Amino acid sequence: MSNAAKAVRTLIIGAGVAGLSLGCYLRDGDFLILEKEEGAGGYLKQICNGDFSFDIGVKCIHASSSEVVHFVEEIVGEENLDRGYARSAYLNHGKLHALPRLEHPVQPLGKRADFRAYAFANYGELAESYMIPYAEKTWTAPASEIDYRAAVTKSKAPGGYLYPRGGMQELTDRMAERLGDHLRLHSKVTEVDPKAKTVKLAGGEIMCYQRLISTVPLPQLIRMIAGVPAEVGSAADKLNFNSMATVAVALEGCIGVEYHYVLVPERRYSFRRLSFPRNFSPGLVPPGRDSILAEVNLPRGERNMACDAEHRGDFIQAVLGQIAETGLLRACRVLGANLTWVGLAHIVPDFCWRPSLDVLEGFLKSRGIRTLGRFAEWKYMNIDDTILEASAISKDILGGRRIRPAAMEARTIQHKTDIARDSL
């Protein structure tokens, strides 16, 4: 990797899927991606336990448009992708039920409508048994405090999913390989000065830019910027989020569950979702073995309950006991279990979310800084949305000049049926 660059036309902070996709679209331009860690990938990094491989939470790429499909095929290679349609269900009183879809138009709600009102208006009795408890487990907040306009997103036509054989990290590893000297690791940005158009790295190096794109979590970016007005700092402080402990369980034997993931709204279980990695890609588990991933969402700051050395073992044992209670383990034997802590897991779209975001977006625009990605924009975005937005930003940067892979036809197949997102 190059250490020489002191001035660069386009500077991208962060080498998760957002920064790397943008880099791949820019390809040969004058740009540099700075990543603080020793490896690229961000949230797509894989957790390995012997021959078992896990994602951080359920992950797959929604094949929502031909541009996304072609982009991923080009990066990973068509032959290296598993494909399918994700099968999901929710658990209620020991039985699995198909996830409900909303066929009629969403009932109009007032401006300050909350998710609880939305669920009752649109889902009747399912609001109580499924929608509200699942939403509250996901956001670790009362559904009445959630802004339904942020929580309910347009669903996508069932275009299936793509999954790189070997794990989601294959996607970011292959992108990082292509980018060569355009990617600099171990390069943490500590300060941004939008007036001088410079960033400072840990270690003191200063770099100049003409255009800055940040993919780091929005509150972190605001903390890095020099001379932020008080109302902007206070808007950043109001952005709410929660954390998550994932318990990755390695099993002897095969579970034989047909679903990719099962949502668990019932409050007696600590986890909100169980997923079955083998169904996304058989290579994630060794032959004759299987695995389950449990996601336990926790309010931010409850790290000690899950991660302290003295609590960790008990936490894992409690989750294993509850997985056994669901009956989904079948005759499998537990070989081992690992816990991973995710400090920033879900954006919590409460009623401070939109007003705070308006202030922050206005401020960043006035300072000429663009953001890209779920946590940088503080919006519910998936990998496919991020790739499409990276493509759009690259077109702005290149002034309409299109190079592969951006040359692919952008035929989105989103449609407007409104459902409550099952993966939230």
Ligand X SMILES: Cc1cc2nc3c(=O)[nH]c(=O)nc-3n(C[C@H](O)[C@H](O)[C@H](O)COP(=O)(O)OP(=O)(O)OC[C@H]3O[C@@H](n4cnc5c(N)ncnc54)[C@H](O)[C@@H]3O)c2cc1C
Q: How far is the CB of 109 from ligand X (least distance, A)?
A: 27
Q: How far is the CB of 385 from ligand X (least distance, A)?
A: 8
Of 135-143, 229-237, 257-265, 376-384, which part binds ligand X (CB under 6 A)? 376-384
Of 142-150, 258-266, 371-379, 387-395, which part binds ligand X (CB under 6 A)? 371-379
Q: Which is nearer to ligand X, 66 or 129 (CB)?
A: 66
Q: Which is nearer to ligand X, 114 or 315 (CB)?
A: 315
CA–CA distance, 297 with 202 (Å, rounded to integer): 32
Q: From the list 264, 374, 390, 406, which residue makes contact with ligand X (rule: CB under 6 A)? A: 374
* Sequence-distant (≥ 6) Cβ neighbours of residue 293 within 8 angstroms: 54, 55, 57, 58, 246, 247, 248, 249, 274, 275, 276, 277
Is residue 61 a contact partner of residue 174, using CB atoms and an 8 Å limit? no
CA–CA distance, 206 with 192 (Å, rounded to integer): 10
Among residues 24, 402, 400, 376, the alpha carbon closest in space to that of 182 is found at 24
Q: How far is the CB of 373 from ligand X (least distance, A)?
A: 2
Q: How far is the CB of 126 from ligand X (least distance, A)?
A: 23
Q: How far is the CB of 275 from ligand X (least distance, A)?
A: 9
Q: Which is nearer to ligand X, 414 or 423 (CB)?
A: 423
Dihedral sign from CA coordinates of 206, 207, 212, 215: negative
215 is an interface residue for ligand X by CB under 6 A? yes
CA–CA distance, 144 with 118 (Å, rounded to integer): 10
76 is an interface residue for ligand X by CB under 6 A? no
Q: From the list 353, 373, 390, 420, which residue makes contact with ligand X (rule: CB under 6 A)? A: 373
Q: How far is the CB of 372 from ligand X (least distance, A)?
A: 7
Q: How far is the CB of 407 from ligand X (least distance, A)?
A: 23
249 is an interface residue for ligand X by CB under 6 A? no
- Tell me, by CB under 6 A, how many residues bind ligand X: 36
Cβ-based neighbour number of residue 352 at 10 Å: 16
* Sequence-distant (≥ 6) Cβ neighbours of residue 18 within 8 angstroms: 42, 215, 372, 373, 374, 376, 386, 390
Q: How far is the CB of 187 from ligand X (least distance, A)?
A: 6
229-248 binders of ligand X (CB under 6 A): none
Of 281-289, 302-310, 324-332, 377-385, which part binds ligand X (CB under 6 A)? 377-385
90-129 binders of ligand X (CB under 6 A): none
Q: From the list 188, 200, 312, 421, which residue makes contact with ligand X (rule: CB under 6 A)? A: 188
Q: Which is nearer to ligand X, 168 or 406 (CB)?
A: 168
4-63 binders of ligand X (CB under 6 A): 13-19, 34-37, 42-44, 57-62
Among residues 305, 295, 297, the alpha carbon closest in space to that of 240 is found at 297
Of 65-73, 136-144, 213-221, 259-267, which part binds ligand X (CB under 6 A)? 213-221
380-419 binders of ligand X (CB under 6 A): 381-384, 386
Q: How far is the CB of 189 from ligand X (least distance, A)?
A: 4
CA–CA distance, 295 with 273 (Å, rounded to integer): 6
Q: How far is the CB of 258 from ligand X (least distance, A)?
A: 18
Q: Which is nearer to ligand X, 189 or 420 (CB)?
A: 189
Q: From the list 11, 162, 176, 216, which residue makes contact with ligand X (rule: CB under 6 A)? A: 216
Is residue 85 a contact partner of residue 162, using CB atoms and an 8 Å limit? no
Q: How far is the CB of 104 from ligand X (least distance, A)?
A: 27
Which tokens hold the place of 190?
A: 């500590």
CA–CA distance, 176 with 207 (Å, rounded to integer): 21
Of 234-242, 310-318, 367-375, 403-411, which part binds ligand X (CB under 6 A)? 367-375
Binding site for ligand X (CB under 6 A): 13-19, 34-37, 42-44, 57-62, 188-189, 215-216, 220, 345, 373-376, 381-384, 386, 423
